[in-house]
Structure 1
Amino acid sequence: MLKQTTKFAGASLGKFLLKEGANTVTIFRGWGYFDVDYIQLTPATSTLPAKPPKTLVDAQATPSTKGLFSYLVDQYGSKVISGQQDDVEYVLEKTGKEPAIGSFDLIDYSPTRVQNGARPVRTSEAIIDWAKKGDGRGIISLMWHWNAPTDLINQAPDKLWWRGFYTDATTFDLAAALADKNSDRYKLLLSDIDAIAVQLKKFQAADVPVLWRPLHEAPGGWFWWGAKGPGPFNELWKLLYDRLTTYHNLHNLIWVYTATDTFRADWYPGDQYVDVVGLDIYTDASANMSGNWSSAQSPLNGKKLVTLSESGNLPSADKVRGFRTWWSWFAVWTGTDYIKKQPLDQLKAIFTDADVITRDELPNWRLAAPAVVTGLEPLFQVTLVGNPVQGDEVNLEIRGAQAQPLTIRLTNMLGHPLMEQTVVPVSALARHPFSLGKQPGVYFIQVSSPTTARTFRIIKL
């Protein structure tokens, strides 16, 4: 999509695959008008995205939150994690595969919706149950269509209370509320955030990390939190971050800033407030989205993960590979106009693709840990020697477990078992070597006694 402008300017539209012989380039009108002088085609290459550091903006993030983020970084550039907005059961029914990420909305916990009798279609407790069922590895993404704290227009036919997150259904002035910290409207901002904190604390208590993407699509202006421009929006983002992280001590959140279909630096809250950058892209089903991808990758490569946080159509795994648009994850919007409108053959193709991770393929990401780890338990100590691994062999040093049986289990990144053996150290200090084989990648080794288990993450170069 071309950026709106009143002057003639150049615009990069991304990368395209041209077939041998004649090709036709079509430019079509979306929501506005355009005047094109010329189209210039130049040779292009696609490169893999650089992995960002495994450091969350919240230094006090919980271990499982750190583990999830570590896993996201590990797969970035080689796999895409599957997600779905709300209709996770539909995907499972039609494909036999369940999305790894369930994306849900806290919309009906907005106080002005509660006041008007709204009740969540899927409660926080039900979302937690979805994450914890089975092996408990389901990943949760939460958004919040924040109904304005007050000043709902509530007029038929289309400015009703339940549309109060839209700019055209409220007169709430964010800039004015932020300008007066003693005003009732500023206090309502805080009390609304406090109400959502109550729900987020349920996830923290259940040890469920959250891909938290509030205040989405602000540059579009169609939501009240973006209606007054980037200045008030960025101030609100920082207020929300501080209120949830510092005031409410919520440390299970991975902060996902969601742009529209194109990243714009003036709307970006800053690296110290954002872990992941998402794009919400509603475009033609044939689009490769490489231009959208490049808009975020160019300024953020090696700094932040980039994800397809919301889309109107399924991505194509072949195009992801071909254009190297390795979104961290994807999620198609809910309902009959979006996910239920997708051709079933395409739905099955993406959810069964070898490079798309579904729920059954998730490892135990809670156990991800730094590259060099020492595990402790009351009776003995285990040290992993030589990590990352350049050869084929890894050594475990075990101290203080003489004559005590221990089980050593090796799995790959997807949790598939590769080796299991029981050892009984014969001395106070024992070394146990084992082979990883020739294949580079990420592995997990678990050392367990009858009462304790410790898992270490191994990187084989």
Structure 2
Amino acid sequence: MLRRLRTALISALLLLPLLATAPSAVAATAAPSDPQATPAAAQALDWLAQLPNRAGNRVLSGFFGGYSGSTFSADRTTTDGQPTQLGKLQTATGQNPGLLACDYAANGSSSIDTSCNSGLINWWQQGGLASVSFHAPNPAQPTGGLFVHLDDFAQITDPTTAVGKQWHATLDQVAAGLQQLDAAGVPVLFRPLHEMNSTYQQAFWWSGQQRSDFIAVWRNMYTYLTQTKGLHNLLWVYSSLCDTSDPAGYYPGAAYTDIVGLDCYPADPSAAQGYDAMTALGKPFAFAEIGAPTDNNLTPPAADPNSFDFRRWSDAIHHRYPATSYFLSWNDSWGLTQQIPDGAKALMNDPWTVNLGELDRSARTEAAGPARPADPVELLNGFETGADGWTAYNQANGPLQVNEWSSQGSSSLRADTDLSQQKQLFLYHHGQFDLSAYATLSAAARTAPGGNQAGGATAKLYLRTGSGNAWYDSGATVIGPDGVMLTVSLAGIPNLNDVHDIGVDFTPATGATGPASVYVDDVTAARPATLLADFETGVEGWSNWQTINSVPWSVTEWAATGTHSLKSDVMLDQRHESILNRHYSTPTDLSGHLTLSVTARTAPWGNQAGGTTAKLYLRTGPSCSGPLTWYDNRGQSVDSNGTRLFLNLGGIPNRDQVCEIGVDFVPAKGASGQSSIYLDNATLR
């Protein structure tokens, strides 16, 4: 199958007619899943999505205020003057959380209570954000059935069934509460049916269901609340349990989700599993519940007070989970106020933490990097919003934006043809383009499986330049239903600042007959690479940290290019990161580049368990001997085949003050034995 191109700078370069130079990178807008979302909801989501890209305050603090009508309070003291849990938090840390959450249904309750709304409205008016979850009553056993598996789960979408009728009655009560918040102008981070992937003995009635059934129930609930009930103030939070199998396996889809999160209570936050799977979904990420560790589920015997240091969470977010938009601490014995006081104070006063009074919900920030790793290419046309100015020649129909096939994203461009006519079909974009800064031009091309293709159609990616419209192409390549990547080297082509046409020429095989379709997707341009290190002559100034060897060395046993790579040995069962890096004594200027890339590898020996994750990073600062700010690509799985890592530099502040670049290798939980890590071919584009 065609390798999917992961392109990062869509908004940085959309080549349109008359565009002469590429604009500087700008932050991408996070659009709500609900097209009718209120302006306040859209603004809140965009702010949260951009928050991790800040150089300073970048993670919103959150706190669970309690169960509505039971333990919830947005006040700092009770009516008799005793401190509430929120009041204890303020006393212990000097801070109030930026996000306050309540639950419409206490554990085991058979009814919905929405009296916490007044506190959430007040919190919003103070400048904070609000979140609502509900430990939904079991529609087959409303009293005491929270942890009783519902065998008729799929039926709850049908209100003519007994469980469906009860479920919709619950949703109606929830909707009434959410409508009060909507009327007050409050956007809500709405977190229903959390921890759906739990396999613990006391899992919720909706946990561990058939994945297709869960997705259908979520989507039905989404449609019911947004369309039937007209609730457009909701930001939908999909929150699974960390350290449990496949946290993204129940994901209902981008059109039904705004934020993805993990509920996480590990003894070692830096070892929690699930972050990479969730951030790969491309949505803002949060730790939707954190707390002191428990035995094996979320309703255990109380954790020992003053036993857990929340500085572990601060360190983990800095070094393991920098894409985190917010964390939400649970209360009671799991909460900040019941544990080591200095740890709670450190987390709430961490330089990255944003508390109440520090939110600017209308602020925008420049993007420091994509949610997922990006190739060193720039998207010219991806056809996600239409034909993008492309047209066709010799077609029977089209061109059409379609979603029946794509090499990246969800859409591509299609044109229909009659193979029997033996005509060349052209899909192309006519305009004036400047490709002088680029080294290659590429596009994905495909034919539909229909029709008699005979020997198979061929395709050429081409461009025409200069006053004479000189033609240059990739050469004819046989294509089929799996698709191929066509590439033109731009080296030596004159007049690249005066390109008039970019297109694909499809030619049917002799003897082909019948109707067929052709497709184009992901037209991209790549900048020339600047080599930083290939280790052909030694370590080239690179060093290591937390490895067996005191220094790395250049070896010939593996290489991504050339004959050498950089190697160091590691112990997997120590469960700590190992780093290969290049530290500069004075700041280095990378401001003229868009992408940093390197190939990373692990040796095939050692028990890799779930596989090692590698993060390509850089650190910036005005002095390379002083405090530095960390930016990374949020991690990719690497193995003995080698994986190309990419870090989008667009939007990273102070790119003229780079003091360190490197790769942080993190072994999987359960990994053991000795292994080795490698790097090769570090480049800039």
What one-letter code is carried by the residue in structure 1 that aligns with 2:291?
G
Aligned ranges 1:140-219 → 2 under 5 Å: 140-152=130-142, 161=143, 163-167=144-148, 173-178=152-157, 181-219=159-197
- Which stretches in structure 2 are left out of the alignment for 5+ residues? 1-25, 66-84, 293-309, 368-651, 655-685
Preserved contact between residue 209 and residue 254 of structure 1 (Cα < 8 Å): yes
The structural deviation recorded for 1:316 is: 2.9
Give a deviation string over 1:62-115, Cα, whole Å, max 9, x none.
11111111111221244111111114333212111100001211115998336x
In structure 2, the partner of 1:157 is none
Q: Structure 1 residues 337, 66: closer, same or farther in 2, change over 3 A?
A: closer
In structure 2, the partner of 1:236 is 217
Q: Structure 1 residues 110, 51: closer, same or farther in 2, change over 3 A?
A: farther
What one-letter code is carried by the residue in structure 1 that aligns with 2:266?
T
Q: Structure 1 residues 324, 189: closer, same or farther in 2, change over 3 A?
A: closer
Preserved contact between residue 278 and residue 308 of structure 1 (Cα < 8 Å): yes
In structure 1, the partner of 2:278 is 296
Q: Structure 1 residues 236, 274: closer, same or farther in 2, change over 3 A?
A: same
Q: Structure 1 residues 177, 206: closer, same or farther in 2, change over 3 A?
A: closer
**TM norm structure 1:** 0.59
Preserved contact between residue 146 and residue 165 of structure 1 (Cα < 8 Å): yes
Aligned ranges 1:272-287 → 2 under 5 Å: 272-284=255-267, 286-287=268-269
Aligned residue for 1:113, secondary structure, equals coil
Preserved contact between residue 100 and residue 129 of structure 2 (Cα < 8 Å): yes
| Higher relative contact order, chain-length normalized (CA < 8 Å, sep 6+) | 1
In structure 2, the partner of 1:103 is 101
Give a deviation string over 1:430-459, Cα, whole Å, max 9, x none.
xxxxxxxxx969xxxxxxxxxxxxxxxxxx
The structural deviation recorded for 1:176 is: 4.0
What one-letter code is carried by the residue in structure 2 that aligns with 1:215?
L
Aligned residue for 2:221, secondary structure, equals helix
For residue 266 of structure 1, the aligned residue among 245, 249, 269 is 249
Tell me the distance in 2 between the aligned counterparts of 1:110 and 1:349: 34
- Which stretches in structure 1 are left out of the alignment for 5+ residues? 1-49, 153-160, 372-438, 442-461
Tell me the distance in 2 between the aligned counterparts of 1:96 and 1:81: 16
For residue 125 of structure 1, the aligned residue among 103, 111, 118 is 118
Percent identity at matched positions?
27
Is 1:353 aligned to 2:350, yes or no? yes
What one-letter code is carried by the residue in structure 2 that aligns with 1:174?
F
Tell me the distance in 2 between the aligned counterparts of 1:337 and 1:312: 5
Give a deviation string over 1:149-194, Cα, whole Å, max 9, x none.
3424xxxxxxxx2x432226xx56313444x552232122212111
Tell me the distance in 2 between the aligned counterparts of 1:247 and 1:202: 16
In structure 2, the partner of 1:68 is 44
Aligned residue for 1:76, secondary structure, equals helix
The structural deviation recorded for 1:369 is: 11
The structural deviation recorded for 1:322 is: 2.5
What one-letter code is carried by the residue in structure 1 that aligns with 2:40?
S
Tell me the distance in 2 between the aligned counterparts of 1:201 and 1:110: 24
Aligned ranges 1:42-61 → 2 under 5 Å: 53-61=29-37
* Greater shift in the superposed pair: 317-326 or 185-194: 317-326
Give a deviation string over 1:10-31, Cα, whole Å, max 9, x none.
xxxxxxxxxxxxxxxxxxxxxx
Preserved contact between residue 137 and residue 362 of structure 1 (Cα < 8 Å): yes
The structural deviation recorded for 1:368 is: 6.5
In structure 2, the partner of 1:248 is 229
Count matched residues.
300
**TM norm structure 2:** 0.41
Q: Structure 1 residues 52, 146: closer, same or farther in 2, change over 3 A?
A: farther
In structure 2, the partner of 1:391 is none
Tell me the distance in 1 between the aligned counterparts of 2:323 and 2:87: 25
